[in-house]
Structure 1
């Protein structure tokens, strides 16, 4: 028997890292035609599961999926989640499909090179390159108040749902939106972090209502600029309240993972399972203490 594995290539691209990344992921990148618009997606399982942006498929039951080899098949929309902007499509074919590897999102770093692949303006298999500009950007004024990977790799209409990958061709985010005044790329694009995408997709595929972990606090930056998330308010009877977290505490670690600010804390909470337990390390009155918290759930 053989075990399915992500796409691999035998060509030496050691001097052209962008070309290697594109070669690794492009066979798994698809174009989605909803009948009213085009989007992108990436096959992440050899059985035919496709990750895409939720807003691409949120009002349809089926889509036409154009594969990298040029063939087209009908896809079933398994489901979508508005807050995270993640959707899942399933296709059934009589062969094993090439699929992309999903990265360990905790290793995504500011400044690392990144490649976006998709179908901007209907031009399928378009590859653009840039860097990771931020790893946990919160768009507080947008519809998706979740942590995003920010990139300057060109992302344009039609790229939504396509993968943002590292130089190993591993998916680090699902392209979601751009910040622009003209409607075209302005060097500020955003992709849903792969950790959040995986968490949401797993629930969608399982037929569950998507629920995310909830701490129950409002936070801000520390007054002196030191790393950490300053707790402003703790909601009554929330997970934070039950753990003993207090207003004025500064969260500096969660399960040993450094928390540099409010965005880091929100990102770390959202990628954990509802009802799971973590250890928060906080500074209280100049002393470092540890608290065990069992997260609540949204919805």
Structure 2
């Protein structure tokens, strides 16, 4: 069991992929006790989002109002609504503990997925427990700013750390699920030096890089949008704090004029603002020079 919320008057309801992806039958219980049969419209494991549908002529549909997750600030009050342990309509409150986290949502569902992260994840301390998954995370105005999706725990229960998919990801993914049953993501075709282990400021200090934020390219994948645009990966290896690092590659510092601090920022921009076949402008630092390159994005393989 899990939670969800009404997306529109056509009977579409948003929940988590992991709530419904293996369901043989889906039933939705509304706030007034009305129970409706639902069908699966589409799922996207990379964002852990899914859309189901009920008959709009029968169900008491009250769509939510979507907010702007990019406007959230650490310390801001948030409210989680859901059905923890089957206790329907439960509400808990807390604050935004951190922003810009990432989760390997697809790999948590199926280890055979490619390792693409679910970016811009919201960390909150509002109590979230089994059954809350798919429920809305609201701001103080009652607008949906996230979708409760996971907790970090060592005992199976809530320990003060919960995560929500940002609503701005929903705004890009859910319309695709309704139209096509699946979501496509933009693809650049690079990997970042240091990955999740060594941060860019550390690389800058250890390697004497000209910038302290951005994405130092480790590898440019063959026949990728990045390769066709002429981006360069590392040309030699060195060791930084015990980790083998490929150096000499381009450093991506901005996309379409928006500065990026790290690979998570870059992926977040691609997810929230672009589609395959879009042309973006990457600002890079190469051999001490700042250049702008046009890149035609592909679709994730």
Mapped contact 1:173–1:193 kept (Cα < 8 A)? yes
Structure 2 runs not aligned, ≥5 long: 110-116, 206-211, 234-248
Deviation sequence 1:19-64 (CA, Å, 0-9, x none): xxxxxxxxxxxxxxxxxxx100011212221110001010125421
Q: Of 205, 230, 234, which aligns to 2:216? A: 230
Mapped contact 2:43–2:181 kept (Cα < 8 A)? no
Mapped contact 2:42–2:182 kept (Cα < 8 A)? no
Mapped pair 1:290 → 2:262: no
Distance in 2 (CA, whole Å) between partners of 1:285 and 1:211 is: 34
Q: Of 143, 146, 168, which aligns to 2:118? A: 146
**What is the aligned partner in structure 2 of residue 22 from structure 1?**
none
Distance in 2 (CA, whole Å) between partners of 1:279 and 1:187 is: 40
How many residue pairs were aligned?
262
Q: Of 216, 222, 228, which aligns to 1:242? A: 228
Residue 216 of structure 1, CA deviation? 0.8
Mapped contact 2:96–2:123 kept (Cα < 8 A)? yes
Distance in 1 (CA, whole Å) between partners of 2:47 and 2:104 is: 13
Distance in 2 (CA, whole Å) between partners of 1:110 and 1:250 is: 28
Deviation sequence 1:137-165 (CA, Å, 0-9, x none): 12359627311222221111000001112
Distance 1:54 1:140, change over 3 A: closer
Distance 1:203 1:189, change over 3 A: same
Mapped contact 1:61–1:76 kept (Cα < 8 A)? no
**What is the aligned partner in structure 2 of residue 92 from structure 1?**
55
Distance in 1 (CA, whole Å) between partners of 2:130 and 2:17 is: 14
Q: Of 21, 43, 62, which aligns to 2:6? A: 43
Distance in 1 (CA, whole Å) between partners of 2:139 and 2:280 is: 29
Structure 1 runs not aligned, ≥5 long: 1-37
SS in structure 2 at match of 1:134: strand
Distance 1:297 1:182, change over 3 A: same
Distance 1:112 1:292, change over 3 A: farther
**What is the aligned partner in structure 2 of residue 163 from structure 1?**
136
Distance 1:289 1:198, change over 3 A: same
Distance 1:266 1:182, change over 3 A: same
Mapped contact 1:279–1:292 kept (Cα < 8 A)? yes
Mapped pair 1:120 → 2:84: yes
Distance 1:283 1:166, change over 3 A: farther
Mapped pair 1:67 → 2:30: yes
**What is the aligned partner in structure 2 of residue 260 from structure 1?**
261
TM-score normalised over the length of structure 1? 0.80
TM-score normalised over the length of structure 2? 0.80
Distance in 2 (CA, whole Å) between partners of 1:114 and 1:256 is: 31
Distance 1:131 1:244, change over 3 A: farther
Q: CA RMSD in A?
A: 2.1
**What is the aligned partner in structure 1 of residue 99 from structure 2?**
135
Distance 1:134 1:164, change over 3 A: same
Distance 1:121 1:207, change over 3 A: same
Residue 87 of structure 1, CA deviation? 0.7
